[in-house]
């Protein structure tokens, strides 16, 4: 089983965060300065080397001016095809048992 840092759900989350940062026009260094963190902090969560917890996500969302509800909606929409595929695969597997 893949670690929670490398599962598809978290990869999508990270990808959406990177897209939001790029869309904001801010660099990793600028975000890090606003958070009072080293640039490596941003790089590590963007590359999947560290997880963001919810309070960190909210702080980042404020800096990026992300609408959290909209972000969650986009995340769920990106997950939908994956969840459907998983459900079909599980359903197909159960028929063979």
Interval 18-55: pLDDT, tens: 999 999 999 999 999 999 999 999 999 999 999 999 99
- Residue spans of the domains in the chain: they are 8-95
Kindly report the pTM of this predicted structure: 0.77
pLDDT band at 92 (very low <50, low <70, confident <90, very high): low
- Each residue of 13-25: pLDDT tens digit? 999 999 999 999 9
Give the CATH fold of the 8-95 domain: 434 Repressor (Amino-terminal Domain) (1.10.260)
Instruction: Note the Cα 51 to chain centre separation in Å.
Output: 9
Residue pair 57/97 in contact (Cβ under 8 Å)? The answer is no
Query: Percentages helix, strand, coil for the chain, rounded to the nearest 5?
Result: 75, 0, 25
Give the pLDDT confidence score for residue 82 in this predicted structure.
79
- Dihedral of CA 81/82/88/89: which sign? positive
Query: What's the average model confidence in pLDDT over 50-63?
Result: 96
């Amino acid at each position: 089983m893949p670690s929670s840092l490398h599962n598809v759900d978290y990869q999508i989350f990270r990808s959406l965060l990177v897209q939001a940062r790029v869309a904001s026009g801010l660099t990793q260094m600028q975000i890090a300065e606003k958070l009072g963190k080293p640039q490596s902090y941003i790089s590590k969560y963007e590359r999947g080397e560290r997880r963001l917890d919810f309070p960190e996500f909210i702080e980042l969302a404020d800096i990026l001016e992300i609408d959290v509800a909209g972000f969650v909606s986009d995340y769920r929409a990106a997950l939908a095809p994956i969840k459907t595929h998983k459900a079909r695969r599980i359903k197909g597997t159960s028929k063979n048992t």
